């Protein structure tokens, strides 16, 4: 079914979406979307939302199984505390993507903003995965506790822009970040280091990237033609010395 978002207040649009899902719709196309907040938030069914236009902040927050396809750019806070499902953005996306994300996948074709993957964590058997095909701003992987971030640096509209910003991995104490090509170690936070991939890492990475490439029609062999490295925390308690020791 199709819902025209032209001129609709975000609450009214989201009410229409919830009513359609409750009525059993499995494929919903939203047209003329222009900055409406909270689209897809809390949806617990395997429905596919295709968005024509640019959705507002907090797309797919608390989502638990749906698929959202954005044919344009996304804004901030995509996948906030998301549990399951997938978000596919065919353009750029903003800041604070995947905040506290506990499961599911977020695939961004182009550049992403600041603080991507902040507080991302694994939850029981769930392992969240966020892939950025372009470049990233400062604080990538900040306070990351689990899950996987992948930065390709390939599909940016700004050839002169650095692949990643400063304070990369600040406070990171879990999870894994994979980066295609070189990492600017001067921009890494002191809590993290650069490591070579194991055979198991490469097998895991290939699985994620086959899924990503399939969503965008990208040549998987081209993506894998460049060397990857992984960023890991040096400690599971990077700020442990700031607190009183636990009693023995």
Predicted confidence at residue 124, as pLDDT, reads 77
Are residues 63 and 104 in contact, defined by beta-carbon separation less than 8 angstroms?
yes
pLDDT tens-digit series, residues 114-138:
999 999 999 778 899 999 999 999 9
Predicted confidence at residue 240, as pLDDT, reads 58
pLDDT tens-digit series, residues 76-106:
999 999 999 999 999 999 999 999 999 999 9
pLDDT tens-digit series, residues 15-74:
999 999 999 999 999 999 999 999 999 999 999 999 999 999 999 999 999 999 999 999
Domains in the chain (CATH in brackets) are 2-239 (2.160.20.60)
Predicted confidence at residue 235, as pLDDT, reads 74
Report whether pLDDT(242) > 80. no
Mean of per-residue pLDDT scores for the chain? 95
Distance of CA 221 to the CA centre of its chain: 22
Cα separation of 240 and 19, whole Å? 48
Are residues 63 and 43 in contact, defined by beta-carbon separation less than 8 angstroms?
yes
Predicted confidence at residue 75, as pLDDT, reads 98
pLDDT tens-digit series, residues 153-197:
999 999 999 999 999 999 999 999 999 999 999 999 999 999 999
Give the pairing type, strands 64-70 and 48-54.
Answer: parallel
Q: What are phi and psi of 205, to 5 degrees?
A: -60, -45
Distances (CA, A) of 180 to 7, 131, 150, 163, 229: 41, 11, 8, 10, 7
Give the chain's end-to-end CA distance (angstroms, integer): 62
Helix (H) or strand (E) holding 222: helix 220-224
Predicted confidence at residue 247, as pLDDT, reads 57
């Amino acid at each position: 079914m199709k819902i025209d978002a032209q001129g609709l207040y975000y609450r009214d649009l989201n009410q229409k979406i919830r009513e359609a899902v409750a009525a059993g719709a499995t494929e919903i196309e939203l047209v003329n979307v222009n900055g409406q907040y909270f689209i897809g938030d809390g949806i617990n069914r395997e429905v596919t939302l295709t968005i024509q236009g640019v959705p507002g902040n907090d797309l797919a927050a608390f989502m638990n199984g749906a698929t959202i396809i954005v044919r344009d750019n996304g804004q901030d806070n995509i996948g906030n505390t998301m549990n399951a499902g997938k978000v596919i953005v065919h353009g750029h996306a903003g800041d604070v993507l995947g905040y506290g994300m506990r499961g599911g996948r977020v695939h961004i074709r182009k550049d992403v903003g600041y603080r991507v993957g902040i507080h991302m964590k694994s939850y029981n058997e769930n392992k969240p995965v966020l892939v950025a095909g372009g470049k990233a701003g400062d604080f990538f992987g900040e306070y990351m506790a689990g899950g996987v971030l992948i930065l390709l640096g390939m599909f940016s509209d700004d050839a002169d822009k650095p692949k990643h910003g400063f304070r990369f991995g600040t406070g990171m104490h879990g999870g894994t970040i994979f980066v295609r090509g070189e990492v600017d170690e001067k921009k890494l936070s002191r809590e993290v280091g650069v490591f070579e991939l194991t055979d198991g890492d490469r097998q895991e990475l290939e699985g994620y990237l086959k899924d990503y490439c399939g969503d965008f029609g990208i040549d998987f062999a081209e993506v894998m033609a460049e060397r990857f490295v992984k960023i890991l925390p040096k400690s599971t308690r990077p700020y442990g010395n700031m607190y009183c020791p636990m009693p023995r």
